[in-house]
Structure 1
Amino acid sequence: MAEHALNRGSDIKLPCFSDSTLLFLGSLLVSKDVKSLIEVRSDVTQLLRSESISVLLSISDKTVHEKLLVLEFFVRAFALVGDHESCLALRYEALVMRETKSSKYQWLRVTPLEWLRFVEDALNNGFHSVAEKACENALSYHGNNDVLKPGPDAFTENLNAISEITRLRNRAMTLVASRSVQVQAEEYLRRKTSEQKMSGLSYKEERCPASTAFRNGIKRQNLRRLYQHQSLLKINDELDGSHLNLRLVIANKTC
């Protein structure tokens, strides 16, 4: 099933970034078999990642509008297969591209509300450092007095969005710092555990010769006792032999 999906998925390589291509992509993910669905989703995700890199490199000389259309296609495609990381990465690239080119093309300007939605999605998916960076970009491009659209409603909307972005930036910074402390704590515990294991190994290596020496000492002591016992037996045998010879001499003299 997965190989079949990949073979059909090769059609995605065609330069057709349209809704029909997304519908075709979605058809690959329709399966009643959970195992097959997981395999196909994984295969299609890897295919999209590979193709997105290749395509984005190939359109470096295209217009901003064309680049944004391709980025939007892959954002929707990654969202379809559930690859939130790639989806957010390309969304962020598109937002930054728009802001960079907005000095020349005002219609590309990213509104505070768009930045806010991205920050919320990044935080909800656990990408705290990305959310923090997006907040910084949003606040650097838009100040409290920067009104993108005329009218009191737009002014209030922008101010509220900027205020919320500021709040979320503080939250993201706290989460990033907390994560950093957690990582440092985990690294410290791993290091201490490793040191304790090495210390225990060293202790065992030091104890091994001592225990061996103790056992060897017992063996030597037992050997000495054995030799002493054997020597005593020999002496007794010699004494018994001497006494026998002496008795024979006395008996001969008496006769």
Structure 2
Amino acid sequence: MLTWGSGDRVALLVHGMLGAASQYHSVGPALADRGYRAVAVDLPGHGDAPRAPDATMDLFVDAVLSVVDRPPALAIGHSLGAIVLSHALPRLQPGRAVYVDVPLSAPSAAPPASAAELRERFTASRAARTVERLAIRPDWSAEDCRVEAEAAARFDVETAVALERSYFGGDAVQGPVVPSLVVRADPSRYVSAERARELEELGFWVRSVPGAGHSVWYGHLDDFMGVLDEWLEAG
């Protein structure tokens, strides 16, 4: 867990798959400058959190809830972290929620991939996230590359395999239960323009950051925070 700022106005930050709390190394201080105590959690099998070879979505939700002692004013989830956040909402009860580059569609009802297939996929993804390979991304800073490579090196494959195999089926999102913003990359591999329109029709605010990648604030922090400020100021 990492914390920036102080006080009772909490912003909870939930990272994506292969990430860690350090993914928010620039967002956390920016939120602290806006008067929040920003708290970034390490999900099971990520960062400093223990591995969980029997992981379930409920376990990931419990990990998120464990780092706050009151409903946060703001909760931000990126990718997998956004999915975990959506499941945590009934118990977390944040004032506002932000979902970063995730379609919020129903998970596939098809049987999950085999453990061997998932293990191979996650192992390859982890191996590919080195500083040298990440440094080819033109917008990423040296610190972005460092924290992502370090997070990947500490990522536990078996935790991710267990989560993926335990989590399938379910219902599509019907609409926001608290004021909610979706921030997508533009173009996005995960949130198509059509899906963005569908989310707007469901009642979500949807904004795009042109030129950004999946980790939207990397290289585009001012744009990302500008979208967040606009939404917060609109009430």
TM-score range, shorter chain: under 0.3
TM-score scaled by structure 1?
A: 0.22
Structure with larger Rg: 1
TM-score scaled by structure 2?
A: 0.23
Query: Which structure shows the bigger proportion of residues in helix conformation?
Result: 1
- Say which structure, 1 or 2, has more relative contact order (CA 8 Å, 6+ apart): 2
Query: Which structure shows the bigger proportion of residues in strand conformation?
Result: 2
